[in-house]
Structure 1
């Protein structure tokens, strides 16, 4: 007999039990709970799941399933359109309600799903939890979304604090038998030949437990020197919580409240860190306002920009073989660890867009495929920010000099030496500009430009002039 009081719990970008409003509401309904994760068809406005994040998703789902089983429950895996899957589960179990946390990047698609479920007699109860605040709460005086970050942040400060996080349940009521599930391994989310993700597990522990551990590390460090240190890639000063946030293994509200006790110790560092959390909310506000953010310029005057594309240059950029050490270190860090330091993300993005004049969308696509923390709002908004085409964007004419950026933020060359080991024996004076080193210095360091390390694929000074000329044409 079907469980007439069963509730369907639909996991999406909220792969956690802690501070999960939909989970608690489903439990409060006092009937059996049927957790399900649905692998849905690719949606054009979101883009496909990146290969690196697929690796993370596999391990995160496996961890979530294990955690649910420890509480007397289980996790069903299904592939297909969400409304079809949910209606089928409801038909087999007698469930009348689906509980879900809102995924703000899917607003348009979710309206269609809600209509289909309503037509099938299934109620849907949606909850907040992906962001610090629901986007509808932070609006200008005219009721529209903020397009500039600082007023957005100021408006957020006038709201109440993010909701108090709810602790993980001690048990979950389960039906006598769960609907038949697909095998997670059958989804082939993990790379095999070659296993390019082999090194990821040395740096990351996907799943809710890994997220909680990273949060504890953050609190233990008191966010000390965060504001300054976060700009230096050789210093371990960032939280490294972004991959966990991307798949909802920890809620931003949990992080916010966990840092409350640091206010009296390192106030400036705390505010700066919280502004980074708020920037994530800002990006989602932009995406909700402009669902085409991934494919279209926020500022449509950039639609006329004359991008160029050189396949060899793009390939060199993706492989970390541009001849500019700070750029190459960043791109290799990305390939080896599935992550890139935030300062270096800006440097590598600026190089692709402005030194190579390659459309920001190609860079966004590459990052989406290779970043473990790929986020449909932040990744796109940040690329448009660097390109100058986004909301509250950096002006296009702000063009990073990769040599000066390296010397300023990796002054001893430790970051470059780690990820570009063929340059490790170069003296500090030339570590960010090996192409200026005398032949005897290169020879002493075992560097042969064009063989052991590439010559620059572009002259930065000339590339800068070319970019500014192209931008002048846009303005004219």
Structure 2
């Protein structure tokens, strides 16, 4: 009977797992997670994603155990680990779902070539995207504009998710396998545990809860901070606990049975977010250095001016702009930041403080529980105006107006900036301009209990536009 090693990485689930399903149909499955130096580098410094990985592995191990199968967890050099496992298990084949980050592409290509050179069958699958990664426009080039990509996406067929394998052939391993605890991943995190349950089951449950209610109001409420109208599925997608194809088809099925045009619009808005993720991955695939270098080359000469002290205030939520501070404190506490605030906070760093977007990217990489290279890099380049499909350089979000529009009562600010909790709206959005008696009644002393704005918004906007003018009109080359 054929024995196939299935390599798990950021696809920690058993539903819609292409490599797992195909292996299960041919014989014995030998599930394997390898903890290499590359993995240590990827997860190192981010407690949130490391904590998530620990609990996802624990659950995956338990899920396989229920079918009398051992999830092997090994540490060391990829090829050496694999050759040891092949000898121990007498495996014939090696299956895996592709990843698309440059380091992982090199890694998986190297492993595939090494194993094929010693006669091991290798099969790889597109398991974590909606469409094949080679979709091109009519000119045979990668799409540069999201709207065009979205229209194309609606014409593409999305394969149905693979079923969950049942009654897989039993596999018990006689050699020593590590446990998630042996990887020195953080098991305990009171703040993250308070807000999240990691793993496939929780991801599916979260989708079920969202699709029962929140999906119907998604378009209207996704930007309202107090409503928490986002799906909060991003960590499950980033870790591979839940399948993007499964979400796509589940949302499509709901769309087919409703006649309410408002619900149709909300479901379309949700599907657009899935396609934004897809668009980000296509950018990563065609521009592998997107996390380090601007796609618009003239931005290599951008006159950044921010200081380390400015950066520290932004990271710690001490800018004196309540919405920015609320978002950055939410990030520190929960490992996530509301999507609307994420965009405004990123814009503030780049355009108000003139701090390189790469610094913001690295901080989010260290902090986000839903960190995803493609999404994060594409988002930062969009905000900075240096990506392919980017916000206009002259768009400088006004944190005060964004706060008034999307958190009108100030509930989001009160939750994450408690020293402002007693300040009524509209003053909570701009406390530095509140009347003295209102501040005194709320127990607030600007510059003492809450910082003064670290920069004047109007002056910052003017400075940003002048900085952008220095590179406007230079080469628009977008190749890497």
Q: Are the structure 2 counterparts of residues 151 and 374 from structure 1 closer, same or farther at C-alpha, using a change threshold of 3 Å?
A: same
Length-normalised TM-score, structure 2 = 0.93
How far the C-alpha of 1:349 sits from its partner, in A, is 0.1
Aligned partners of 1:467 and 1:47: how far apart in 2? 34
Q: CA deviation at 1:238?
A: 1.2
Check 1:43–1:474 CA distance in 2 against 1; reply closer, same or farther (3 A cut).
farther
For the 8 Å contact 1:6–1:94, the answer to whether it is kept is: yes
Q: 1:323, 1:456 within 8 Å by CA — same for their partners in 2?
A: yes
For 1:210 and 1:86, how far apart are their aligned partners in 2? Answer: 31
1:240 paired residue number: 232
Q: CA deviation at 1:19?
A: 1.1
Offset at 1:407? 0.7
Query: Equivalents in 1 of 2:172, 2:40: separation in Å?
Result: 39
Shift of residue 152 of structure 1? 0.8
- Say whether residues 1:377 and 2:390 are aligned partners: no
Aligned to 2:84: 88
Q: Note the residue ranges of structure 2 that are not aligned, 5 or more in a row.
A: 474-480
Corresponding position of 1:145: 142
Report the count of equivalent residues: 466
Q: Distance in 2 between matches of 1:295 and 1:222?
A: 36
Considering only aligned residues, what root-mean-square deviation do their CA atoms show, in Å? 1.8
Deviation (angstroms), 1:92: 2.5
Q: 2:246 corresponds to which residue? A: 254
> Unaligned 5+ residue runs, structure 1?
none
Instruction: Check whether the contact 2:67–2:170 (CA below 8 A) recurs between aligned residues.
Output: no
303-312 vs 173-182, greater mean Cα deviation: 173-182
Residue of structure 2 in register with 1:415 after alignment: 412
Runs of 4+ in 1 over 6 A off after TM superposition: 43-47
**Cα deviation code 1:15-35 (max 9, x no counterpart):** 0011111111111112x2211
Residue of structure 2 in register with 1:57 after alignment: 53
Cα deviation 1:270-310 (Å, max 9, x = unaligned):
11100100010000000000111111111111001111231
- 1:173 aligned to 2:166? no
Say if 2:218 is the partner of 1:218.
no
Matched with 1:442 is 439
The equivalent of 2:73 in structure 1 is 77
Partners of 1:41 and 1:395 in 2: how far apart? 40
* Superimposed CA distance per residue, residues 420-445 of structure 1 (whole angstroms, 9 cap, x where no aligned partner): 11101111021110000121111100
Match of 1:126 in 2: 124
For 1:223, what is the secondary structure of its paired residue?
Answer: helix
1:379-412 CA distance string (max 9 Å, x none) = 1110111011111010222100111111111111
Q: Return the alpha-carbon distance in structure 2 between the equivalents of residues 461 and 81 of structure 1.
A: 54
Could you tell me how far apart the structure 2 residues matched to 1:366 and 1:442 are? 33
Equivalent positions of 1:17-416 (< 5 A) are: 17-30=14-27, 32-42=28-38, 50-105=46-101, 106-136=104-134, 138-160=135-157, 162-190=158-186, 197-221=189-213, 223-263=215-255, 264=258, 265=260, 266-416=263-413
Counterpart Cα distance in 2 of 1:337 and 1:28: 40
- Alpha-carbon distance in 1 for matches of 2:77, 2:266: 44
Q: After superposition, what is the alpha-carbon deviation per residue over 1:212-270, rounded to whole angstroms, capped at 9, x for unaligned?
A: 11110121116122112101111121111110000111101111111123322411111
- Are residues 49 and 73 of structure 1, via their aligned partners in 2, closer, same or farther at CA, if it must alter by over 3 Å? farther
Matches of 2:247 and 2:24, distance apart in 1: 24
- d(CA) in 2 for partners of 1:247, 1:432: 35
After the TM superposition, which of the residue ranges 43-52 and 178-187 deviates more from structure 2? 43-52
TM-score (normalizing by structure 1): 0.94
Q: Are 2:461 and 1:469 equivalent residues in the alignment?
A: no
Q: Does the 8 A contact of 1:45 with 1:291 survive in 2?
A: no
- Provide closer, same or farther for how the CA distance between residues 37 and 45 of structure 1 changes in structure 2, counting only shifts above 3 A: closer
Distance in 1 (alpha carbons) for counterparts of 2:137 and 2:44: 33
